Structure 1
Amino acid sequence: MSIATTLGVGSGIDTTQLVTNLVSAQREAKDTIFKAKTEKLTTQISGISQLKSGILNFSTALTSLIAGGTLTTQPTTSDANAISVAGIAGVKPSGAASQIEVKQLAAAQSVSSKAFADANTPLGTGKLTFTFGNATVDSATSTMTGFDAKALPAAISIDIDSSNNSLSGIAAAINKQATGMTATVVSDATGARLVIKGATGDAAAFTINATETAGAEGLAQLNYGPGATSGAVLNQAAGDAIVTFDGLTVRRPSNSISDLVTGATLTLKSVTTSKVVIGSSQPTSSLSAAVSDFVGAYNELLGIVAEQTDKDTGSLNGDSSVRTMMSMLAKLTSTPLVAGGSPSTLAELGVSTNRDGTLSVDTGRLNKAVAANPAAVEAMFNPTQKSSSSLVGIVSLVSATKPGTYAVTDLVAATGGKLTGSAVPTAFDMPLVLDATNNVFNVALDGKTPVAVTVPAGSYASGADFAAALNDAIQNNTSITVLASIGWDGDHLTAASKTLGSTSRIEIGAADATVSDLLGLTNATRATGTNASGKIDSVAAVSSGSLLFAASSSAAKGLTIQPLAGATSATITVDRGLLNALNDVASSLTASGGALYSANERLTKAQKDVEAQKTKLDESSAKMKANLTRQFAAMDSRVAAYKSTQSFLEQQVDAWNNSNR
C-alpha cells in the first residue's frame, strides 16, 4: 500500500487533501498573475498582428490599384475595330497623336496537301526539310516562283517513320518543333488534308522538301517550293504588315507592333480606308478618385490603431511600436513623391491631417491640382525613373534607389573583343575556292573552347561574300552560344564578339594554313573588350561588362545604368511615388528589425518567459507536495506508534485492575 493511500490512517486526519490544499494555497496568487500576464500578452500579440495585416493590406491594395493601369496615361485609338491599342508597362505614351493607315495586314504562309481518305492515311517515310526565307509568288497562279533562303531561322528536318507517317502523325511532329509553324488536319466531304502554316511576315515563307525512303515513297506529295510539282498547294502567301505612320510607309512582320508609337502596342485588325488617330488619355478622374480612396484607406488603418490604443480597452495603449508606426504614417502627406516640380506631396494636393491623426481631402483643391498638372499627379502615384539621354539606359528597379536627381559623367561604353585580319589586297583576285579539304574554321568566343565551323563549299569572288558565308556558318552553329559579327573592310577581314566587357574576345583561324594566310588570319591582331566606365553622382561607378553600378558609398546606391556607344553624360531622375513611399513604411515596420516585428518578437519572448515561470512553479509545487507528503507520513507513523503504546498501556492497566480484585 502506497504512502499516499495510507496517509491519515494513524492520525485520522485527511492529510492527502490537506497537502493538496496547502500546495494550492501557496501557488494560487502566482497562478492568477501568470494567467493575467498570458491573457494580456496574447491580446497584445493579436493586436500587433492586426496592425501588421492592416499596413500590409494597405500597401497591397495600393499596389493592385497602380498595377491595374488606371492611374497611368493610356494610349487611345479612334477606331478600335481597325487598330486596337494597349499600354506598355513602364513606358508612358508620348502624348503626341499619330495618324496611321493600314495598307496591308501581315499574313502567314499557308499550304495544304491534296485530299486523302482520312487523317490516318500513311504517306510514306523519310525526312521533311523546311527552309525559311523570302518567297516570290505569282499572284495569278498562287505558285512560288522564287525563294531566297535565310540563315535564321535555320532550316529544320523532321524524321518521318512508320510511327508518324499519317497526316495526323506528321501534323504532331511539325507542332513539336519550336519554329512558329503549326499543322492541322482539316476534313470535309472531299477527304482529309494536311494544312501547314508558318509565322507572319515576308521572311517567314517556307519551302518543303521530302527525302524519301526507298521502297516507302509518298512524302514528296507534301513538297512545296519553286519547281515543285504534284505537291502541296498555296492557300495564302506570307506577307509583312504595311502601314503609313504619319505619312511614312513602314513594314513589320507582325500585326502586333510595339515600336512605332511610344508606350503603345498596336494590334492591326483590318485594312483601313482612312487615317486612324492614335493618341493618349490622362486619367484625371481616376487620379482624383485614387487620392480620396487613399485617404479613406489611411483612415481605416488608423481606426485599427485607435482600437488597439484605446486608453480603457486597448491592449497596445502606450506601446512604443505603435507610436513609431503613427509617426511614419503621419509623414506620408509631406514626403516628396517626385524629384522637383510641384505638386510633389499629398499635402499640395489638398490632403491634410486632422487633430485626431486622420486625413481629410479638400476636393476642390485636389481637382484643381489634377486639372492643372495631371502628369505630375500621375508621377506621384507611379514610381518612375528616367534618363535624359537615350544612350544611357537604366537597368535597376525604380525602388532600388532613393528618390533624387543624379548626374552621370565621364561615361565610356563597353566594347567587345575584336579581331582584325592583316591586309590582303589580292586575296580575291582569283575566286577563293573552298571544298571539303579547306572549308573548316576554328572559332573561339569569349575564352570558350574553339568550335569547328564549316563554311559552305563553293567559289567566293569577294571578301564580302566570304565574310557573309562565315558569319552565317557561325550563327547557325548550335555549339556556339555567343553571337559574333563577321565583315570585310576594304582589304581585310573583321570580326567582333557581340558580348561586351573585359571577358569579350574572339579568335578565328582556318584549319588550312594556306587559307589562313590568304585571308590574313595568320597575322591577325586581336583586342580584348573593355568594361564600361564612368561616374555616378560624382563617385566612380563599379563596372561589370556593359553595366555601371553606383558605389555603395554614393547617394545613388542601388542605381545601375548601361551606357551605349557615344554616351558621355546624362541626368538620372528617380521618383519614388506614393506606392514605394508606402511600401517603404510597411517594410520598415514589418521587416526584421522593424518596430512591429520587434514588438512581436518582444511580446512572444515575454509569453515564453511566462510559460517558463509556470513550468518552474509546477516543478516547485511538485517538490513541495512531495516534501509535505513525506512529513505528514512521518507524523502519521509516529501517531500510530503512540496509539499502539497507548493501547498496550491500557491493556496493562486493565490487567492490573483485574488482578487486584
Structure 2
Amino acid sequence: MANIISLLGAGSGLDTANLVSQLVEAERAPTQNRLDSKQETLQAQISAYGTLKSAMSGFQDVISPLANNDTFNARSVAFPDTDVITPNSLAAGAQTGTYQIEVVDVARAQSLAMGATADQNAAIGATGELSIQFGQWSYNVADEPDSFQVNDDRAALSIEVDASDSLQSIAEKINASDSGIQASVLRVDDQYQLMLTAPSGADNALQISASDASLADFEFTAANFSGVTETQQASDAELKVNGLSVKRDSNTIDDVIAGFDFTLNKSSAGEKITFSVDADKAVAEQAIRDFVEAYNTLYETAGNLTGYSTDEDNNTVKGDLSTDATAKTVMRQLRSMIGATVPGIESGFTALANLGIRTELDGTLSINETEFESALSGNFELVETLFARKTSSSNSYVEVGVGTRASSTVAGSYDVLITQDPAKGLVGGNSVTATGFDAGSDAFVPSLDTSPGDYSFKIKVNGTESDTISLTGTYSTVEELRAELQSLINGDAKLAGARAAVDVSYDSGTDAFTFTSRDYGSSSKVSFSLAGADIGQLGIDTALTGTAGKDVAGTINGVAGFGAGEVLLPDLSSGAYGLNLSISPGAAAQGAFEIGFSRGFAGGMNNLINEFLASSGPIASRETSLNDRLDDISDDREDLDRRIEKYEARLSAQFLAMEQIISSLNSTGDSLEGILDRLPYTAKD
C-alpha cells in the first residue's frame, strides 16, 4: 500500500495521496462516531450500575442491624468500680433489674502432686491404666479423703501408661484428652513431680485409680493416697444474689443473671455490690433513624441515575440509566416494599406507617416524631416484630428454628400435625441380684466390692461398640453405682469419638438400671455385646432386648415432612421449606397446631437487596449484557478497520490507474511535440 501511495500524484501533479486519506476518513467517520457514542453510553451505564450497587450495599449495611433481634434487646449496665467482681459481657436480652451481689467465697480447683523423679523425661518403668473420675470428695477429721461421689455429668478418663513413658509424656497424654484437667511437670527442689489441676468446683475433684501396682504412687483413692499430695482441695464459689445463696463450680458465672457474664476475683463477705441492668431502646431508635436517612440517600442517588437532575449551573442532566428498564424495575420494587405490609405479621404493627414513618410527595421518607416516640415507648415489642425475624408455635413442645435455606421461605402461618413423637433408643436391665442388695433402701449391705470379680461389659450405642468397661470400685448405694456406670460408659474412647453417650437411670420399682441413648431417632439403639461372669448380678446381660428410637413424623399444611431424630423438616415443595421444627416428646398429644414465620421488614428488605446484588441477580445479568455489547463494539471496530482498509486500497488503485493514464498521455504529448518539422516533403513558410 505504501508503494502505491508513493506513486500517487506522479503523473497529475495533484496531491492525490492526501485526497485518498481525506476520502477514507470521510468514509470512516460516521461509523466511528456511532461506535464511539455507543461505547461511551455503555461505559457510562456500567459505571452507573457500579454507583447503584455501592449505594444499595451501603443501604444494606444500615438496615441489616434492624433485621437482628439483638438490636431491639440491647442492654446497658451501671456497674460500680470494684476489684471483687469483673463484668465480662452483657448480652442482648439480658434480664433487666437491680441486683445486689455478695461474694462469700470463690471457687477453687483441686491440685494433686505425684510421681517424684529426678528426671522429668526419664522412663518411670510403670505400666497399666490410670482411671481418672470426676466427683466430690468428703474428708475425715484428719482432712484425709474418705469417700468419693462420682459426678455422672463428666465422663471418666483412661490413660494408658507404657514402660517407656515419663512424667512429661504422661502429662502430654492427659492434656491431649481434652478433659479439662491441666497436667504439668514442676521442679520442686531436686525432684520433678506431675501436677494435676482439675476444673474448679467441689464436684470436679479427681479420683485416680490404677490397674497395676507399678502405678500405685499415682493413685488417689480413699484406700490409697499416700503417694499423692493434695495441695489444694476443690470448692465451689458461693455468693448471694439479692439475698439468695448461690453456689457455682466456676468463678466465671453466666447463668445467675441471664445474659450477664461476670468473674469473681476474691471473697469479700459482708461487702454488697449493687448495680442495674436496663433495656437500651436508644440503640434500636438510632438504627431506625439511620435507616430512614440511608433510604433517602439511596433514593436520591438512584433518582439521579434513573431520572433527571440539575447540575451546578441549574441545567437539567439526564441520568445514565434513565432509559434502563432493569434499574427502574429494581427501584420500583424497593419503593413498593417501603409502603407495603410485612408478610407474616397478622396483627400489631404491620407497616412502617404504624411507627409514623411516612413517604413524602418527592418519594423520600420522614418521621412523625410524636407517633414514633409513642410507638417506641408504648409498643416496643411490636416495633421489634415489625423489623426483625420472628417465629412462633402454638405447641409448647415444638420450637421453630431457621435454617440456611430461610431466604426462600414464604412468610406466613402453617398448620402442623405431629403424628409420631421422637424417641430415644434404650435397653432395660434385669433386676439387681447382687449379694447384700437391699431393694427397700437401694443400698448394698455390706458395700458391694467389684474388684475381686469380673464386672466387665461392652455396650453398643447408636451402632458404636465400646472397649471393655470394668467396674473395680466399692459401692454403698445404687446411686453410687449408677453414677459410676454412666461416667465409665461416657468416658469410653470409642463412644466419645463417635459422640455416642447414654443416661443411666434406676427404677426402684423393678430394681433395674435402664441405659438410654442421648440421641433421638431410628438409629438410636443400645445393647450389650459382652458381659463378664459377675456383671449379671447388676442386671446387665447380652440377651437383653432393647427398644430402638423413633424419628419424629408429621405434616405441614397436610404434606408429610421429613423426620430426622427430633427434627421435622418441611417438604422441599412447601412454602415452609427453610424452617426446622425441634420436637419434644408430648407434641403429638397436643393435636393440630399452628406455626408462624416472618422475616420482618428489615429481613425482607435485606433479602430483596441480596437478590438484586447476587451473582445471578438482575443487576449482574444487566451488567453482563452491557459488557457483551461492549465486546460487540470491539468486534465492530475490527470489521470497520478491515472495510476501510479495503476501501483505501481500492481508492489508491483507482487513483494510481488515473495517474498512469495521465503519465502515458504526457509521454505521448512530449513525443509528438515538433513532429511536423521532422516530416519530409513538408513545406514551411
TM-score interval for Structure 1 and Structure 2 normalised by the shorter chain: 0.7 to 0.9
Query: Relative to 1, partners in 2 of residues 1:518 and 1:356: Cα closer, same or farther, differing over 3 Å?
Result: closer
Identity %: 25
Partner residue, 1:237: 233
Aligned length: 646
Alignment counterpart, residue 380 of structure 1, candidates 366, 377, 386? 386
* Deviation for aligned residue 1:279: 6.3
C-alpha distance 625-529 of structure 1, shift in aligned 2 (>3 A): farther
User: Aligned runs of 1:409-424 on 2, under 5 Å?
Assistant: 409-410=417-418, 412-420=420-428
What are the residue-to-residue correspondences of 1:322-401 with 2, within 5 Å? 322-330=327-335, 331-336=337-342, 339-397=345-403, 400=407, 401=409
After superposition, the CA RMSD in angstroms is 4.9
Give, as a single letter, the amino acid of the residue that structure 2 aligns with 1:34.
L
Change (3 A) 1:639 1:285: same
**Structure-1 separation of matches of 2:248 and 2:537:** 43
Q: Which one is further off, 23-32 or 400-409?
A: 400-409
For 1:483, which of 458, 481, 501 is the aligned residue? 501
- Deviation of 1:356 after TM superposition, in Å, equals 0.9
Shift of 1:561: 0.8
Does the 8 Å contact 1:108/1:238 carry over to 2? yes
Return the alpha-carbon distance in structure 2 between the equivalents of residues 85 and 530 of structure 1. 42
Q: Report the residue type matching 2:360 in the other structure.
A: N
SS for the counterpart of 2:285 is: helix
Tell me the equivalent position of 2:132.
Answer: 131
| 1:583 CA drift (Å) | 0.3
In structure 2, the residue corresponding to 1:28 is in which secondary structure?
helix
SS at match of 2:29: helix
SS at match of 2:110: strand
> So what's the TM-score if we normalise by structure 1?
0.79
Shift of 1:512: 6.9
Asked whether the 8 Å contact 1:288–1:366 carries over to 2, the reply is: no
Q: 1:246, CA displacement in angstroms?
A: 6.8
Shift of 1:71: 3.8
Q: Tell me: CA distance 1:41–1:623, structure 2 relative to 1, closer, same or farther (3 Å).
A: same
Which residue does the alignment assign to 2:469? 454
Question: Retained in 1: the 8 A contact 2:139–2:147?
Answer: no
Q: 1:414 to 1:599 in 2, by over 3 A?
A: same
**Higher alpha-carbon deviation: 337-346 or 578-587:** 337-346
Equivalent residue of 1:180, what SS? coil
Deviation (angstroms), 1:361: 1.0
- Secondary structure of 1:581's partner? helix
Name the CA shift for 1:106/1:232 in 2 (closer, same or farther; >3 Å). Answer: same
In structure 2, the residue matched to 1:284 is 281
CA distance 1:230–1:517, shift in 2 (3 Å): closer
The 8 Å contact of residues 112 and 195 in structure 1, kept in 2 or not, is answered as yes
Relative to structure 1, is the Cα distance of residues 255 and 608 closer, same or farther in structure 2, using a 3 angstrom cutoff?
same
Instruction: Single out whichever of 25-34 and 73-82 deviates more from structure 2.
Output: 73-82
Secondary structure of 1:200's counterpart equals coil
Contact 2:343-2:600 within 8 A present in 1 as well: yes
Once the two structures are TM-superposed, the CA of residue 109 in structure 1 deviates from its matched residue by 2.6
**CA distance change for structure 1 residues 18 and 321 in 2, over 3 Å: closer, same or farther?**
same
**Structure 1 pair 651–295 and aligned structure 2 pair: CA distance change class (3 A):** same
Instruction: Name the SS of the counterpart of 2:529 in structure 1.
Output: strand
Say whether 1:572 aligns with 2:595.
Answer: yes
What residue is the counterpart of 2:179 in the other structure? 179
CA deviations 1:281-321 (Å, max 9, x no partner) are 22233333332222111111122123323253221224333
Aligned twin of 2:24:
23
Say if 1:105 and 1:405 are closer, same or farther in 2 by CA, change over 3 A. farther
The farther-off stretch of 574-583 and 52-61 is: 574-583
3-state SS of 2:586 partner: coil
Q: Residue 534 and residue 211 in structure 1: after superposition, are their counterparts in 2 closer, same or farther (change >3 A)?
A: closer
Distance 1:376 1:177 in 2: 49
Distance (whole Å) between structure 1 residues aligned to residue 21 and residue 351 of structure 2? 69
Match in the other structure for 2:441: none
Q: Give me the whole-angstrom Cα distance separating, in 1, the residues matched to 2:221 and 2:545.
A: 45
Q: State the Cα distance separating 1:357 from its structure 2 match.
A: 0.8
Q: Is the 8 A contact 2:455 2:533 kept in 1?
A: no
Q: Aligned match of 1:315 in 320, 336, 352? A: 320
Is residue 252 from structure 1 mapped to residue 248 from structure 2 by the alignment? yes
- Tell me the equivalent position of 1:297: 294
Give the residue type in structure 1 aligned to 2:235.
G
Q: Which amino acid aligns with 2:250?
A: S
Give 1:38 deviation, angstroms. Answer: 1.2
Which secondary structure does the structure 2 equivalent of 1:59 belong to?
A: helix
- The Cα shift of 1:543 comes to 2.0
1:623 matched to 2:623: no
TM-score (structure 2 length as normaliser) = 0.77
Distance 1:458 1:136 in 2: 15
Alignment check: 8 A CA contact 2:4 2:653 kept: no
State the distance in 1 between where 2:86 and 2:270 align: 12
2:440 matched residue in structure 1: none
Aligned to 1:474: 489
Looking at structure 1, the residues matched to 188 and 633 of structure 2 have their Cα atoms a distance apart, in angstroms, of 81
* Structure 2 CA distance for partners of 1:472 and 1:437, relative to 1, 3 Å: same
Question: Structure 2 residue aligned with 1:611, among 600, 625, 634?
Answer: 634
Do the aligned residues in 1 keep the contact of 2:432 with 2:512 (CA within 8 Å)?
Answer: yes
Relative distance call for 1:103 and 1:567 in structure 2 (3 A) is farther
How far, CA to CA, are the matches of 2:95 and 2:324 in structure 1?
50
Contact 1:114 1:232 in 2 (8 A): no
CA distance in 2, matches of 1:459, 1:122: 34
Structure-2 separation of matches of 1:102 and 1:164: 42
Change (3 A) 1:632 1:245: same
Render the CA deviation track for 1:554-592: whole Å, top value 9, x for unaligned.
Answer: 443322111111224555343423431320231232235
Distance in 1 of aligned mates of 2:635 and 2:519: 62
Structure-2 change in CA distance of 1:632 and 1:284 (3 Å): same
Instruction: Mark the runs of 5 or more structure 1 residues left unpaired by the alignment.
Output: none
2:431, 2:194 → 1: CA distance?
A: 53
In the alignment, residue 501 of structure 1 is paired with which amino acid?
G
- Alpha carbons of structure 1 residues 459 and 265: separation in structure 2 relative to 1, 3 Å: closer
Change in CA separation of 1:108 and 1:189 when aligned onto 2, cut-off 3 Å: same
Residue 49 of structure 1: how far off its partner (Å): 1.3
d(CA) in 2 for partners of 1:492, 1:187? 50
What residue is the counterpart of 2:579 in the other structure? 559
Q: 1:187 to 1:655 in 2, by over 3 A?
A: farther
Question: Are residue 205 (structure 1) and residue 194 (structure 2) matched?
Answer: no
User: Which SS does the other structure have where 2:519 is aligned?
Assistant: coil
Letter in 2 for 1:583: N
Aligned to 1:499, what secondary structure does the other structure show? strand
Where does the alignment leave 5 or more consecutive residues of structure 2 unmatched?
310-315, 438-443
Where does residue 499 of structure 1 map in the other structure? 519
Preserved CA contact (<8 Å) 1:76 1:85? no
Residue 493 of structure 2 aligns to which amino acid in structure 1?
T
Matched ranges for 1:97-108 at <5 A = 102-108=103-109
For residue 109 of structure 1, what is the aligned residue in structure 2? Answer: 110
Is the Cα–Cα contact under 8 Å of residues 459 and 527 in structure 2 kept in the other structure?
Answer: yes
Distance between the aligned counterparts of 1:318 and 1:183, measured in 2?
Answer: 73
Moved more, 128-137 or 182-191: 182-191
Q: 1:334 to 1:149 in 2, by over 3 A?
A: same
